[in-house]
Structure 1
């Protein structure tokens, strides 16, 4: 069985993902405890490791802070699928190792509670509930290596230690 979807609409901004009043928190588990609380009060208590978020257009717009993707990743979300992402959110997500895929068709058709499987190498998104597949194109190999390593800093440390 695939992982469960939490679905949100267009223009979900970073202040909704992690409200500004929690920016002083630094432990990842504390950030996760407040993730999405202003748009979905039950998110933190119902999300399970491996679940996914599906959003509409311009997901992650707003402030450029890394707190938002960090809170999502720390909550156990394995991937965010959206019709489109704000550019700075996209970069911050990759930097911290949070997989994100753009697929307007998947974002439009996947429903809350659907069960999804994602292959990050091929970009295939399988909706097991609706028996449909979508393709996002996947990541270039170097970005996939960064995600597999847990983010840019871990990737650079692994690369450095292998060189010498």
Structure 2
């Protein structure tokens, strides 16, 4: 995994819950069948938007109707991203859809741990309300070594909270792969 992530932003509001990330009716697909796994990407962020979700202007779909992955690889969100149930499929669905990182003001604890423990996506936190200044479609560049995100479209750089060991765990493919890699388990 590179230490630079570059891609288009998809901007959301606050309190994006796991039902919005992957609706319950789409939890029926096999996690071991490659054709069915693609459907997790297709239906990522397809939940019925709540008014406070702050979906992009015009309710821009995250994944186009005829696609299985999104053109957006970085999610920008407000506080409490991933709230709701402890659905492990939520960060998995985002990864399958092509998301590399999420930058939010805060996360629901279980969602954050699921992102890291499964090695799905990098969950960055920031003290700034980036969802108020970044626009859906802006080109972003996350520099993991320097904990910054640069909006290349607007030519503005923001600070991100340091990841600590989180990057190494996600990079290894999850907590168990990391533990094996570091000889922390037999």
Q: TM-score range by the shorter chain?
A: 0.7 to 0.9
Residues 74-113 of structure 1: per-residue CA shift (max 9 Å, x gap): 1111111112111111111111221011123323321111
Q: 2:172 aligns with which of 145, 149, 152?
A: 149
Gaps of 5+ in 2: 1-5, 32-36, 50-58
The farther-off stretch of 107-116 and 70-79 is 107-116
Partners of 1:24 and 1:33 in 2: how far apart?
13
Q: How far is 1:41 from its partner?
A: 7.4
Gaps of 5+ in 1: none
SS at match of 2:145: coil
Q: Which structure carries more helix by proportion?
A: 1
**2:52 alignment partner in structure 1:** none
**2:14 alignment partner in structure 1:** 10
1:24 correspondence with 2:33: no
SS at match of 1:153: helix
Q: How far is 1:122 from its partner?
A: 2.3
CA root-mean-square deviation: 2.3
Q: Is the 1:51–1:77 Cα contact (8 Å) retained in structure 2?
A: yes
Greater RCO (CA < 8 Å, at least 6 residues apart): 2
Q: How far is 1:158 from its partner?
A: 2.4
Q: Under a length normalisation based on structure 1, what TM-score does the superposition of the two structures give? A: 0.87
